[in-house]
Structure 1
Amino acid sequence: MKKILILLIVINLSICAFGEEIVKVRLSDGESITGQLKLPQGNKVPLLVVFVHGTGPNTYINKRKIGNTEFNYFDLFADEFNKRGIGFFSYNRRGVEIGDTPPYYDKIDSVKYSKYLPITEAEDIEAIISTLRNDKRFVNTKIALLGCSEGTIIASIVADRKVEKIDALLLFGYANDNLFDIIKWQYSGKASIINLRKYFDSNKDNMISKNEYESSDSIAVLGRTRVLGNASFESLDIVKDSVLDYRDFGTRAAPYFEYLLKMIDSDSDAWIWKNYFRVSSRWLKEHFKLEANKTRLLRIDIPTYIFHGIEDGNAPVEGVYDIQSRFRQANKSNLKCFFFEGHNHDLNYLDWPFNKKIPEGLNSIFKTSELLM
């Protein structure tokens, strides 16, 4: 009787979890990572979406704390896909486990994490797909990769290698160029103007006049005080032409870009981790060697969807216009692109934890996924 009672409790817990499973994935080098599989109710799963992380340490929940707000990044994706009858898989990047320290809630094994490189990450995604395909429940299930930022590069590499079969690519925060060129663009001042124009550029000419900068409008006041530390217009006008544009911010940023390259070249990993991003110099160097998506994607024939914010200050929207043009010139019809005014690199994800509103860009991903079933 006691065994029966325990069994009933286990069954009830499983039901309450709504198809949530922890999956161990063995990697090609003998290491293993942990993933989370969330399945919709029902007997069939016509489509599984595998999330491919952006840059840095990531876990299968990506718990975050911003101010007093805590949230699990992937809850929104799992819920929205599951309610459409679609399974969702996320994973701990190699060398990363869930931790208990805000704001990132991750725990990093530096030795294992050092193996996180672009091609290694692609191989790890292939191991995930292989694990899922070997599950008898998913014999007839389609698998789509949902790549974010760096994940748009990795997902495309996986599709191009064809080691494991995937059925579609869903890409947001799309990186069209090689990472070196993207970082160079970020330091050119053009990314700065994109990030600042929502506060000041009232006439939308991609420049900021003295009147716009010194406006008493609440949004301009917010930009001056919280973003630019009450800097005077004159101190920002480096070029001294009475407007602020990308040249002013690019001139200011140029020494930082050159110093970053110096730190990468000298393998100054501690400096990079503390002052730039939680990655290694080797990771950056390996990315700098990679073919860019703008040529790789042309070899891929599966349905490919790009979702991009016009206000993306990390990867320029011009890259999406460029890949569209390249597909047209090559007479390829498997690419569809969606553009979203007022959306940033993560398609305004923070509207969800702070305002309980699903932004248009992310909602478009969820709706598009239904077409793949």
Structure 2
Amino acid sequence: MSTVLAVLILVTALYSSEIVNVQLSDGEILKGKLRLPENQKHPSRLVIFIHGTGPSTYLDRRKIGGVDFNYYDLFGEEFNRRGIGFFSYNKRGVAISDKPPLYYEIDREKFKKAVPSIETEDLSMAIEFLRKDPRLKKAKIILLGWSEGTIIASMLAGIKENRITALLLAGYAHENMADIIKWQFSGESSMVNLNKAFDKDGDRKISSAEYIGKDRAAAAMRTRGLKNAKFEQLDIDKDSFISAKDFGKILEPRYKLLSEKIEQNDGEWIWKNYFRVSTNWLGEHFQLEANKTRLLREKKPIFVFHGTDDASTDIYGVYRLSKSFAERGKTNLRTYVFKGHNHDLNFLSWAVRKKMPEGIRMIFDVSERMIN
């Protein structure tokens, strides 16, 4: 039903890559990049990266701190070095561009179809044509989902015909997207970053003495992050501490406004003032089953990678998932929590400073162990 059209082949000492086009059910094309280890004719594993929220390409090129890099090439090269194939793709309506800072161009009408149900269908077709590649006929397929991609990956794994071997879930999303957004505005998300700078005694709140601390992290957050706000301005409930309750009150008007714009179907405001997503995306996500119950039906191996400093998805979701699996006597879940790692597991220290963080290294190590 689908065909692979290789239009570009690049060869290095470690891997070969090709750009492929997958014809989708409605005639659109999913363009992706397939990277295979150069020294293996038939790799035993293929990792497919499932994107997080917003527009993305098979490269996700960025330039930060004078360093120009392609996000997915870094992953592809390391997986290939370990004998594992790697595939990434453009989301619907998104194409690669040479224009900074995001290096993509977007057809917003087509991007409106970048919703969970359609992305799941598109990626199922991608899996189908990858399996038809003679080099990959015997390859076991592993999904690496990040953030929203942890939701899409679990949906794909639930489709029997996809024959997914294992799930690697980073920046794990435990709840429904409506609940995730609510948590992000609850004050809990804000305190993840604030406590890292100020909370010296580990009680998950900030005293006046901690707030006026002289160390570099506290000074930077106070001056640059909080614009030199006085302690009394942030202690909304006047209990002598800055806590999630205070920031929940501070963010309440913004959350109310966002909720109103979603209710009004005001896609333009959401795109410009919240996130580059469509109202279609929000509406569908709000109706989806959450990973917290969907994953309980899975029997295949699941590996979760999460940072203690993740301000996008709640780390306590990881602990709740582990508890749910244990209560049911399920043994196919393994979780890894990394101190001081953020939502992207400190990816920029790898891309910019060439130092691979522990969390990202563990993703590669786990994938490699599945080969042996």
Query: Offset of 1:66 from its aligned partner?
Result: 3.1
Q: Deviations over 1:242-287 (max 9, x none)?
A: 1100011000111111111110111111100011100011110110
Residue 250 of structure 2 corresponds to 252
Q: Is the 8 A contact 1:309 1:340 kept in 2?
A: yes
Unaligned regions of 5+ residues in structure 1, if any? Answer: 1-10
Q: Is the 8 A contact 1:53 1:151 kept in 2?
A: yes
Residue 159 of structure 1 corresponds to 157
Taking the TM superposition and a 5 Å limit, the aligned residue runs for 1:132-147 are 132-147=130-145
Q: Deviations over 1:193-243 (max 9, x none)?
A: 001111111111111111111111111111111111111111111111111
Determine what percentage of the aligned residue pairs are the same residue: 52
Query: Offset of 1:79 from its aligned partner?
Result: 1.5
SS of corresponding position for 2:33: strand
Q: Is the 8 A contact 2:9 2:19 kept in 1?
A: no
- The verdict on how the C-alpha distance between 1:306 and 1:207 changes in structure 2, with shifts beyond 3 A counting, is same
SS of corresponding position for 2:55: coil
> Aligned pair 1:271/2:269, yes or no?
yes
Q: Deviations over 1:26-63 (max 9, x none)?
A: 11222111100111122220100000000010000001
Q: Is the 8 A contact 1:23 1:34 kept in 2?
A: yes
Task: Provide the C-alpha distance between the structure 2 equivalents of 1:344 and 1:98, rounded to a whole number of angstroms.
Answer: 27
Residue 17 of structure 2 corresponds to 20
Residue 8 of structure 1 corresponds to none
SS of corresponding position for 1:163: helix
Which amino acid is the alignment partner of residue 62 of structure 1? D
SS of corresponding position for 1:339: strand
> Aligned pair 1:210/2:205, yes or no?
no
Which amino acid is the alignment partner of residue 35 of structure 2? K
Which amino acid is the alignment partner of residue 182 of structure 1? I
Task: Provide the C-alpha distance between the structure 2 equivalents of 1:331 and 1:99, rounded to a whole number of angstroms.
Answer: 49
Q: Is the 8 A contact 2:14 2:81 kept in 1?
A: no
Q: Deviations over 1:58-82 (max 9, x none)?
A: 0000011335333211122111101
SS of corresponding position for 2:360: helix
Residue 104 of structure 2 corresponds to 106
Q: Is the 8 A contact 1:305 1:336 kept in 2?
A: yes
Taking the TM superposition and a 5 Å limit, the aligned residue runs for 1:128-207 are 128-207=126-205
2:35 pairs, out of 38, 44, 54, with 38
Query: Offset of 1:12 from its aligned partner?
Result: 10
Which amino acid is the alignment partner of residue 31 of structure 2? T
Which amino acid is the alignment partner of residue 174 of structure 2? N
Residue 301 of structure 1 corresponds to 299
Residue 4 of structure 2 corresponds to none
Residue 361 of structure 1 corresponds to 359
Task: Provide the C-alpha distance between the structure 2 equivalents of 1:14 and 1:252, rounded to a whole number of angstroms.
Answer: 53
1:280 pairs, out of 271, 278, 281, with 278
Task: Provide the C-alpha distance between the structure 1 equivalents of 2:114 and 2:296, rounded to a whole number of angstroms.
Answer: 26
Q: Mean Cα displacement is larger for which, 70-79 or 133-142?
A: 70-79
Task: Provide the C-alpha distance between the structure 2 equivalents of 1:137 and 1:277, rounded to a whole number of angstroms.
Answer: 39
Q: Is the 8 A contact 1:66 1:103 kept in 2?
A: no
Q: Is the 8 A contact 1:265 1:281 kept in 2?
A: no
TM-score calculated relative to the size of structure 1: 0.95
Structural RMSD (CA): 1.6
The count of residues paired between Structure 1 and Structure 2 equals 364
Q: Deviations over 1:5-35 (max 9, x none)?
A: xxxxxx9964679311111111122211110
Residue 3 of structure 2 corresponds to none
Residue 343 of structure 1 corresponds to 341
Task: Provide the C-alpha distance between the structure 2 equivalents of 1:169 and 1:81, rounded to a whole number of angstroms.
Answer: 15
Residue 7 of structure 1 corresponds to none
Task: Provide the C-alpha distance between the structure 2 equivalents of 1:55 and 1:263, rounded to a whole number of angstroms.
Answer: 19
Q: Deviations over 1:278-304 (max 9, x none)?
A: 001111011000000010001111111
> Aligned pair 1:84/2:74, yes or no?
no
Residue 219 of structure 1 corresponds to 217
Q: Is the 8 A contact 2:65 2:352 kept in 1?
A: no
SS of corresponding position for 2:20: strand
Residue 72 of structure 1 corresponds to 70
> Aligned pair 1:320/2:312, yes or no?
no
Taking the TM superposition and a 5 Å limit, the aligned residue runs for 1:230-249 are 230-249=228-247
Which amino acid is the alignment partner of residue 66 of structure 2? N
TM-score calculated relative to the size of structure 2: 0.95
Task: Provide the C-alpha distance between the structure 2 equivalents of 1:17 and 1:203, rounded to a whole number of angstroms.
Answer: 47
